[in-house]
C-alpha cells in the first residue's frame, strides 16, 4: 500500500527570525494554534511519526518555527503556540511580529492548518489568526482537536456551531476555510485531514510555491 505524502517527514531546521527561514520555493503548509491545543500531536498523527513534533506538558514551550521536510520536498511549518499567559510579554511581541509577517509574506506558504481544541474553539486569538491569514487568499483547514473528549452529540453540535460562525464571519467575506473534527488519541479525522492537505500539495499553487 502506498504511504500518504505526509508520511516519512523528517525534521529540517528551526527558525527564530525571518532570516532563518528555509530558502527556496518548495510549497509549505503551516500549523498554527493556541498553546496546548494539540498541534504537535496532530502533526505526529498526520505524519505517522510519534515523536516528530515535540509534545510538551508545558504550554508555550515551542518558541521557534520548526520545519519538517516531506519526501516530495514540500515543508510543514510548526508555528509557535499562541496565547499562553506565562510567556513573557517581550517574547509574545516577538512571536506576534514573526508570525504576522510569516503568514502575510511567506511566498512558499500554500495553506494553513488551524488547530483548535474542540472544547474551546474560535477564541479571540484564533479569530485573530484567521484575520491575519485570510486576506492572503490561501486556504485554511481547521482541526477541532481532542474531539474524543466530547460526547457524540457534543461533537456534532460543536462542529455545526463552528461551521456557522466561520461561514458568517469569514467565508461570507471571501475566506477559504474548511473545518472538521479531529483526535490524535483515537485517529478519528486523520484520513479526512490527510485528504485536505494532500489536495493542497497536488494543487496548482504547490507548483509555484505561492498563492
Instruction: Provide the residue ranges of all domains of the chain, joining segments of one domain with +.
Output: 10-208
The three-class DSSP label of residue 76 is strand
141: closest CA among 178, 170, 181, 172? 178
33: closest CA among 144, 137, 148? 144
**CB-based burial of residue 58 (10 Å sphere; 0-12 exposed, 13-18 middle, 19+ buried)?**
exposed
How confident is the model at residue 209, as a pLDDT?
A: 45
Would you give the end-to-end CA distance of the chain in angstroms?
Answer: 32
The CATH number for 10-208, chosen from 3.40.50.300, 3.40.50.920, 3.50.50.60, 3.40.50.620, is: 3.40.50.300
Confidence of residue 2 (pLDDT cuts 50, 70, 90): very low
Tell me: the pLDDT tens digits for 4-18? 778 888 899 988 889
How confident is the model at residue 145, as a pLDDT?
A: 97
Distances (CA, A) of 85 to 21, 66, 82, 184, 199: 26, 22, 9, 25, 36
Sole residue written with cell 486523520: 190
Tell me: the pLDDT tens digits for 43-64? 999 998 766 765 444 444 456 8
Answer whether residue 128 shows pLDDT above 70: yes
∠183-39-7 over CA atoms, to 5°? 75
Beta strand 75-78 pairing with 65-69: antiparallel
Chain centroid, CA 27 distance in Å: 14
Amino acid at each position: 500500500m502506498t504511504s500518504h505524502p505526509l508520511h516519512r517527514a523528517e525534521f529540517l531546521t528551526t527558525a527564530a527570525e525571518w532570516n532563518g527561514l528555509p530558502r527556496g520555493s518548495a510549497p509549505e503548509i503551516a500549523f498554527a494554534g493556541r498553546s496546548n491545543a494539540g498541534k504537535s500531536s496532530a502533526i505526529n498523527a498526520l505524519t505517522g511519526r510519534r515523536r516528530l513534533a515535540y509534545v510538551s506538558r508545558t504550554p508555550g514551550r515551542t518558541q521557534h518555527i520548526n520545519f519538517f521536510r516531506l519526501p516530495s520536498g514540500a515543508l510543514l511549518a510548526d508555528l509557535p503556540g499562541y496565547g499562553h499567559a506565562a510567556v513573557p510579554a517581550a517574547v509574545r511581541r516577538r512571536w506576534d511580529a514573526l508570525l504576522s509577517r510569516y503568514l502575510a509574506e511567506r511566498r512558499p506558504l500554500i495553506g494553513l492548518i488551524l488547530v483548535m481544541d474542540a472544547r474551546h474553539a474560535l477564541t479571540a486569538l484564533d479569530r485573530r489568526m484567521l484575520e491575519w491569514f485570510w486576506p492572503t487568499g490561501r486556504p485554511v483547514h481547521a482541526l477541532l482537536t481532542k474531539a474524543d473528549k466530547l460526547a457524540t452529540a457534543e461533537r456534532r453540535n460543536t462542529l455545526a456551531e463552528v461551521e456557522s460562525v466561520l461561514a458568517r464571519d469569514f467565508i461570507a467575506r471571501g475566506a477559504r476555510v474548511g473545518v472538521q473534527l479531529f483526535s490524535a488519541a483515537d485517529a478519528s479525522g486523520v484520513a479526512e485531514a490527510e485528504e485536505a492537505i494532500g489536495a493542497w500539495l497536488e494543487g496548482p499553487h504547490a507548483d509555484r510555491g505561492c498563492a
